[in-house]
């Protein structure tokens, strides 16, 4: 990593889960630890990029030199990302954004009782799909796909629907990949139709691989 191959590039990475509160002490979330996103931010910074890391709540410290924007909910992540993405050359969304939020957030703690309660949820905005619609020329957009079935097919549909250059698909049922573990087993899927199937490796190594391909995509954009 001595070669500063991402020098002069602005890179935005998202990481971690979101929390969708329905009262002051209770929320809907997912098991994302932030490890994958923080590894990406660390590698981008070591490669010389100016890195902004928009992160949901995690227990990880921001890598040195990375500017951390902490957020809690999907709506907060949406505002933070949509505001900054237009001036970024590369955006990588590794965050596990909550697809739904409770439609009402009670100001007081809901009292425990014997009766059933129902939490109604409404869809959150799809941040990456919005970035895909606004993608400017030269910008490289990378998404992740957390899948349990038909990994490549489902990830490819997300790549097309969200207008991405590359999607990183991980099988979240495999104990060596996905949420919270230190390793990941991913397939990189490109707009061209190419699929690169990588063996299980540490999330730091996955991040290095991802940036090898991102650098290629950036070069192609610049017309090298
Ligand atoms: O954090 P770790 O513990 O290291 O775990 C890593 C990980 C499993 C969280 C990561 O590898 C991963 O797969 N991240 C994406 C999780 C996810 O939300 O996948 P998805 O298939 O539901 O979403 C597809 C893409 O759209 C993702 O890039 C996601 O960030 C984005 N998205 C999703 C919903 C939404 N409302 N807005 C979005 O931008």
Q: Does ipTM surpass 0.95 in this model?
A: yes
Architecture of domain 10-221: 3-Layer(aba) Sandwich (3.40)
Q: For the whole model, what pTM was predicted?
A: 0.97
Question: Domain ranges in the chain?
Answer: 10-221
Number of C-beta neighbours around residue 4 at 10 A: 11
- Which protein residues touch ligand 1 with a CB less than 6 Å away? 16, 32-37, 74, 93-97, 99, 124, 126-128, 143-146, 158, 170, 172, 178-180
How many Å lie between the centroid of ligand 1 and the Cα of residue 30?
10
Residues sharing a CB contact under 8 Å with residue 182, sequence separation 6 or more, in sequence order: 35, 202, 203
The answer to the question of whether 182 is labelled as a binding residue is no
Q: Using one digit for the tens of pLDDT, what is the confidence trace for 81-136?
A: 999 999 999 999 999 999 999 999 999 999 999 999 999 999 999 999 999 999 99
Q: Using one digit for the tens of pLDDT, what is the confidence trace for 154-211?
A: 999 999 999 999 999 999 999 999 999 999 999 999 998 999 999 999 999 999 999 9
């Amino acid at each position: 990593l001595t070669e500063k191959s991402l020098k002069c590039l602005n890179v935005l990475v998202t990481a971690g889960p979101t929390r969708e509160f329905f009262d002051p002490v209770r929320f809907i979330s997912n098991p994302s630890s932030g490890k994958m996103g923080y590894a990406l931010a660390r590698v981008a910074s070591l490669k010389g990029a100016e890195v902004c890391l928009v992160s949901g709540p995690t227990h990880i410290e921001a890598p040195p030199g990375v500017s951390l924007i902490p957020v809690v909910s999907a709506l907060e992540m949406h505002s933070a990302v949509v505001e900054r993405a237009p001036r970024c050359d590369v955006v990588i969304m590794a965050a596990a954004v909550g697809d739904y939020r409770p439609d009402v957030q009670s100001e007081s703690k809901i009292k425990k009782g014997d009766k059933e309660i129902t939490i109604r949820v409404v869809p959150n905005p799809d941040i990456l799909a919005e970035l895909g619609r606004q993608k400017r020329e030269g910008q490289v957009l990378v998404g992740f796909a957390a899948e349990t079935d038909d990994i490549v097919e489902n990830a490819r549909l997300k790549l097309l629907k969200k207008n991405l250059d590359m999607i990183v698909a991980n099988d979240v049922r495999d104990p060596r990949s996905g949420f919270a573990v230190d390793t990941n087993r991913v397939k990189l899927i490109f707009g061209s139709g190419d699929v690169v199937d990588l063996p299980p490796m540490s999330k730091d190594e996955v991040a290095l691989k991802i940036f090898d391909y991102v650098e290629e995509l950036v070069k192609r954009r610049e017309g090298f």
